[in-house]
Amino acid sequence: MLILGIETSCDETAAAVVEDGSKVLSNVVVSQIDIFAEYGGVIPEVAARNHLEVMMPVVKKALKDAKKTWDDIDAIAVTHTPGLLGSLLIGTLTARTLAIVHKKPLYAVHHLKSHIYANWLHAPIDEKDKNILSGLPELASEDEGLSPVKTGAKNPSPKESLLSFPLLALVVSGGHTQILRMDAHNHFEIIGTTRDDAVGECFDKVAKILGLPYPGGPAITKAGKTGGKNRYKFPKPKVEGLDFSFSGLKTAVLRTVQKELGLPINHPSHDLKNHLKEAQIADFSASFEKTATDYLLEKLEKAYEMYPETKSFVIAGGVSANELLREEAKNRFGEEKVFFPNPKFSGDNGAMVAAAAYFEIKSGVKPTDPYKLNILPRSEIK
């Protein structure tokens, strides 16, 4: 089954063609990061206008790269929730129109479900996966590192055969931080969530304090390379159970920077960067990254204690690209049990939307009415 996935929930305009929920035939992502880097964050109206400009060229390129025509496409999938209102509108209106014009069934997908299903997309993430892939007779030649393989009932994707239920999913993005339990495909139970900021948002805000560009995640990793990860101790927020809090951690960094610089707590945060030396930025970055990743994984360990029958761990969302998080998770849960998307699919993309729709279809979800599909800026995964 060939699905065209469309994603526009935030500041990436993306479309992809995916076969059977895992074989990525094309993956086109136009990011607005360069536009928003200078503003230090996303401006919703600007994001929506940019989606509008590139949406159709992105869809056309996704079909062209996959060497497919509309006749080959079995269904269209689109993110309809959660996200920025104007951004979601462009993607859904495009998908609705295309579904009507080309007479294709339309599937409306939850953005976090897509992030989780990015883990089923076919692209080797490390040597272990590469070995498995190379053992398959159906292996096609590497195309831009996507390593497509044949999938389907007779040829299950190698990753699909390794990922086992019940599993615990840690979703870490710019808008969400959640732990979910999955007993089967398309069966989600939220068991932990952030009570305030998301972890990605916290990376972005701390980066801003340190004078680093948006998005904060990669910038903090880069700046922290030469820093001491134990140089500063930030208290981890004390939240009961499996819930998270990240606003306290951001404030802890802010106060420590002010203290280190000998400035009062009412000194404006936007000016601190003008006083910081490179070595201090490196130390703050490394120490913050360590605290944030430890905090995430401590909660995931706690979830494992509560659900010891867990067979796999899936880490998803933009922050799952973080190298320290990947290394630490492998150390804590074992390399064979923990899964990350290929970094190409950690951030927002259309392939993960197509993958999520495929597993929804397999579990009996019916298409949505293209004349009636609504967007929801906020909603929980179901």
| Interface ranges with ligand KG4 (CB under 6 A) | 10, 173-175, 200-201, 203-204, 215-218, 221, 317-319, 321-322, 347-348
- Binding to Zn ion in span 154-173, by CB under 5 A: 173
In 63-150, DSSP assigns E strands to 75-81, 106-110
Q: Which does 21 bind (CB under 5 to 8 A by kind): ligand KG4, Zn ion, none?
A: none
d(CA 347, CA 197) in angstroms, rounded, equals 18
Q: Which does 237 bind (CB under 5 to 8 A by kind): ligand KG4, Zn ion, none?
A: none
Nearest to 276 by CA among 253, 289, 290, 260: 260
Cα 271 off chain centre by: 31
Taking the least distance from each CB to ligand KG4, the nearer of 21 and 175 is: 175
Mark the segment that binds Zn ion (CB under 5 A) among 41-49, 75-83, 337-345, 346-354: 346-354
What residues does 79 pair with on adjacent strands?
Answer: 109
Taking the least distance from each CB to Zn ion, the nearer of 96 and 176 is: 176
Taking the least distance from each CB to Zn ion, the nearer of 115 and 299 is: 115
What is the closest distance, in whole angstroms, from the C-beta atom of residue 115 to Zn ion in the complex? 6
Taking the least distance from each CB to ligand KG4, the nearer of 149 and 354 is: 354
d(CA 61, CA 51) in angstroms, rounded, equals 15
- Tokens 């003008």 map to which residue? 274
- Tokens 């929980």 map to which residue? 380
For the record, the structure tokens of 302 come out as: 């706690």
Q: Which does 227 bind (CB under 5 to 8 A by kind): ligand KG4, Zn ion, none?
A: none
Taking the least distance from each CB to ligand KG4, the nearer of 20 and 201 is: 201
d(CA 43, CA 46) in angstroms, rounded, equals 5
What is the closest distance, in whole angstroms, from the C-beta atom of residue 317 to ligand KG4 in the complex? 4
Q: Which long-range contacts (CB under 8 A, 24 or more apart) does 236-243 make?
A: 236/291, 236/294, 236/295, 236/298, 237/295, 239/195, 241/192, 241/302, 242/179, 242/191, 242/192, 242/299, 242/302, 242/303, 242/306, 243/192, 243/193, 243/194, 243/195
What is the closest distance, in whole angstroms, from the C-beta atom of residue 37 to Zn ion in the complex? 18
What is the closest distance, in whole angstroms, from the C-beta atom of residue 31 to Zn ion in the complex? 12
Q: Which does 203 bind (CB under 5 to 8 A by kind): ligand KG4, Zn ion, none?
A: ligand KG4
Residue 71: other Cβ atoms inside 10 A: 6
Q: Which does 200 bind (CB under 5 to 8 A by kind): ligand KG4, Zn ion, none?
A: ligand KG4
Taking the least distance from each CB to Zn ion, the nearer of 318 and 370 is: 318
Helix (H) or strand (E) holding 16: strand 12-19
Residues touching Zn ion, count (CB under 5 A)? 2
- 348 belongs to the binding site for Zn ion (CB under 5 A): yes
Q: Which does 248 bind (CB under 5 to 8 A by kind): Zn ion, ligand KG4, none?
A: none
Q: Which does 367 bind (CB under 5 to 8 A by kind): ligand KG4, Zn ion, none?
A: none
What is the closest distance, in whole angstroms, from the C-beta atom of residue 320 to ligand KG4 in the complex? 8
Nearest to 90 by CA among 52, 44, 54, 43: 52
Q: Which does 218 bind (CB under 5 to 8 A by kind): Zn ion, ligand KG4, none?
A: ligand KG4
Taking the least distance from each CB to Zn ion, the nearer of 148 and 215 is: 215
Mark the segment that binds Zn ion (CB under 5 A) among 153-161, 217-225, 348-356, 359-367: 348-356
Rg (the chain; Cα; Å): 21
Helix (H) or strand (E) holding 86: helix 85-102
Interface positions with Zn ion (CB under 5 A): 173, 348
